[in-house]
Amino acid sequence: MSNLPEHVVKAWISGFGVAVPRGATAPDPESVEAAARGLATPLVVKAYGSGLLHKSDAGAVRLGLGSPGAAAAAAAEIRAALPEPPDGFLVEEQREAGVEVIVGAVRDPAFGPVLLAGLGGVWTEVLRDTALRLCPVTEADARAMLDELRGRALLDGFRGQPAIDRDALVRVLLAVGGEGGIVEALGDDLTEFELNPVICTPGGAVAVDARLISPSPLDPSALPGRPRATSAGAAPAPPTDFERLFAPRGVAVVGASTKKPNFGNMFLGFYKAADFKGRLVAVHPTASEIDGVPCAPSLAEAGPDIDYALVAVPAERCPDVVRQASGIPFVQVMSGGFREMGGADLEDDLLAAARSAGVRLLGPNCMGVYSPAGGQTFLGGTPGRPGRVAVVSQSGGLAGEVVKVGERRGLAFSKVATVGNSADVTPAELLGHLAADPATSAIGLYLEDPRDGRGLFEALRNVRKPVVALVGGRSGQGREAAASHTGGMVSDTRVWAALAAQAGVALVTSQDDLIGVLDAFDLHSAARPAAPGGPEILVIGPSGGASVLAADVFDGAGFDLAALPEAAREALRGLGLGAGTSLANPLEIPVGPRGDPGLVRRAVTAILAERPYADVIAHVNAQSFFTFGDSADPLLAYTRGVGALQAELAATRVTLVMRNAECAPPGVEDAVREIARAAGVPVYRSMEAAAVAVAAAKNHARSAHGTA
């Protein structure tokens, strides 16, 4: 690692528009006094050298020096206290006090350069109050970073202190991480870069310390300047058309056995059960047929119209099989035992085999593709109905669960691809295809190692459809200790959160929430594009206790349970509400086996006539319908009332929470979901699940309306 002297870094960054203090250097304490003449007091003296990465910790900084002579004396004290003589001393004009901010950048191994901003100076390690974005950042990104800080009130003036010049601080962030900035100029030479602190006052923002760490020695005289605009290079290679992956004319399965059923036989059974309409071929060196499916001796002899080959043989045999696949557009390797098990060389050989055959490789270590409209499947039984939801998953097992549980709840899928190790086809590529797919309106992702993190980031920023991502392994990956404060505060979890914020992606933490958000996207985001993304919500349902708990959940999720205006409360009284209960938000109304099933519709209509709410969450206690009643009809009638409400509200999203659904007789919950879904209303079992889904829908609405 290379660590340039501070004064060299400061001279360089000033060319990008970053303000730095006036200063001078001296090779030894005896030269400091002469160097300091002409500088305004008070002064700061710092020692610099290759071993002085954290100068304050080493006692190599002195502040508040009243004269050049005092600066020279301080330099002598520093030299005496250090175990090794420094390379020299930097003496500078000390800046007036202000809010200290850290601005830094590091190179993330998956996503590339990441910008960090937060409270700096001594507060950096104590409070760790920082925000992240992937580079390059926009002005909107920079301002959003500052708004995310817990201590942002310090920037705007606190307890009589003046507000800082936010615009000046934003310019520093853009100079570091924006287009044409310091990070872009460094390119691959960036390991860690840090300004800490940047002292911010009403008069501007000045970087009083600067650190640049590079993976290899940098020539101070050859530091790059601000990048210039260049003419466009050669056009990129055209993207792969993945339509035949999801709708193949023919499928070849390699690995089925004539003696002992295995995964190959299982997949042949899946395609037969799905009534695959294209050519289905089993590849076997000697058999004429397996399980009623005709055989070919090799992939090379599989015949015409084979667009997809599924390989389920031991890992060491896979490269040779793939080399025979010339002329087949897509080959999926189900087998494991590659990079995920320490077999990186074998995976490299597999990829080389795909390249030599001119095929695109899905996997290895993946289950395959599911598309009811295209006849693709990796699941048993009859495929579900074709729908509008797509999923890209690095786990085949989890993808199967999302499909089966999602279909049980009423979701229908357009295209599902499992990519495993993503040695060739990456999530980013498939995301780009799905973004342009007219049959897909919402996209779900399950990722562990995206392989092409930068490509994924760019693809997500260009998607206009709603996307929800579940990321596995964020807590376990960790990160080695970094040389700078910036590096120490950039973690896998925080980088994913930054990516989600910049790209308008909903980031969830469970499979259930992944399915729940896809449900909301499918029913709300595509059907009600006019619904805004503001924080206001209206919660309506029975039970004061449930309403109090709902308020806690939704308030904790950042929603605004805005009060009902007096005109709305008067209208509710006209409906017979308010006797014995407060007319507040959440609104308590009688819902049960003897209640009026249309009351929720009339109450919400009355409220929205006086004040708009972007989201209405109607909740119901299923247990009460069957404790105090003996029929599902009142609950189903209530659900129809909620559905009728949604039909009347083009610019409002209606969500139904069916609490205690397990208390309903078998089949009742399914019936509620079917009625609600037909009306465009997603159903959740808990307030917490609904809050996640509503937040995702609001977030997408803000992005779509350009108000993120």
Nearest to 496 by CA among 453, 537, 436, 545: 453
Residue 700: which domain range? Answer: 537-704
Q: Is residue 314 one of the residues assigned to a domain?
A: yes
- Percentage of residues of the chain with pLDDT beyond 90: 79
Q: Are residues 678 and 571 in the same domain?
A: yes
* Confidence label for 494 from pLDDT (cuts 50, 70 and 90): confident
Q: Are residues 89 and 103 in the same domain?
A: no
Q: State residue 528's pLDDT score.
A: 83
pLDDT at 53 over 60: yes
Q: Is residue 150 one of the residues assigned to a domain?
A: yes
Q: Are residues 405 and 476 in the same domain?
A: yes
For residue 563, give the DSSP letter: P
pTM, 2 dp? 0.90
Q: Is residue 530 one of the residues assigned to a domain?
A: no
Q: State residue 125's pLDDT score.
A: 61
Q: Is residue 248 one of the residues assigned to a domain?
A: yes
Tokens at 202, concatenated: 């009403």
pLDDT at 560 over 90: yes
Rounded CA gap, 496 and 455, in Å? 14
What CATH number does the domain containing 69 carry?
A: 3.30.1490.20
Compare 448 and 92 and report the one with higher pLDDT: 92
Cβ distance 505 to 545 under 8 Å? no
Q: Are residues 567 and 419 in the same domain?
A: no
Least trusted range by pLDDT, from 92-96, 160-164, 488-492, 517-521: 488-492
Tokens at 312, concatenated: 């389920």
Query: SS3 for 258-290, per residue?
Result: CCCCCHHHHHHHHHHHCCCCCEEEEECCCCCEE
Asked, as a colleague might, if the bond just before 5 is cis with ω within 30 of 0, I would say no
For residue 178, give the DSSP letter: B
Q: Are residues 104 and 87 in the same domain?
A: no
Q: Are residues 305 and 419 in the same domain?
A: no
Q: Is residue 282 one of the residues assigned to a domain?
A: yes
Compare 530 and 507 and report the one with higher pLDDT: 507
H or E segment at 124? Answer: helix 123-127
Q: Is residue 14 one of the residues assigned to a domain?
A: no
Cβ distance 256 to 282 under 8 Å? yes
Q: Is residue 639 one of the residues assigned to a domain?
A: yes
Rounded CA gap, 305 and 217, in Å? 56
pLDDT at 113 over 60: yes
29: which residues sit within 8 A by CB, 6+ positions away? 72, 73, 75, 76, 78, 79, 89
Q: Are residues 671 and 542 in the same domain?
A: yes
Q: Are residues 260 and 111 in the same domain?
A: no
- Total domains in the fold of the chain: 5
Q: Across all residues in the chain, what is the average pLDDT? A: 91
DSSP-based three-state secondary structure for 417: strand
pLDDT at 224 over 50: yes
Q: State residue 127's pLDDT score.
A: 67
Chosen domain end from 93, 118, 146:
93
Q: State residue 228's pLDDT score.
A: 62
Q: Are residues 505 and 431 in the same domain?
A: yes
pLDDT at 477 over 50: no
pLDDT at 299 over 70: yes
What CATH number does the domain containing 192 carry?
A: 3.30.470.20
What CATH number does the domain containing 253 carry?
A: 3.40.50.720
Q: Is residue 57 one of the residues assigned to a domain?
A: yes
Q: Are residues 564 and 688 in the same domain?
A: yes
- Percentage of residues of the chain with pLDDT beyond 70: 94
Q: Are residues 424 and 479 in the same domain?
A: yes
Q: Are residues 64 and 122 in the same domain?
A: no
For 400-419, the pLDDT digits (tens) are 999 999 999 999 999 999 99
**What DSSP string describes 50-92?**
TT-SSTTTTT-EEEEE-SHHHHHHHHHHHHHHSSS--SEEEEE
Rounded CA gap, 687 and 659, in Å? 8
For 248-275, the pLDDT digits (tens) are 999 999 999 999 899 999 999 999 999 9
What CATH number does the domain containing 417 carry?
A: 3.40.50.261
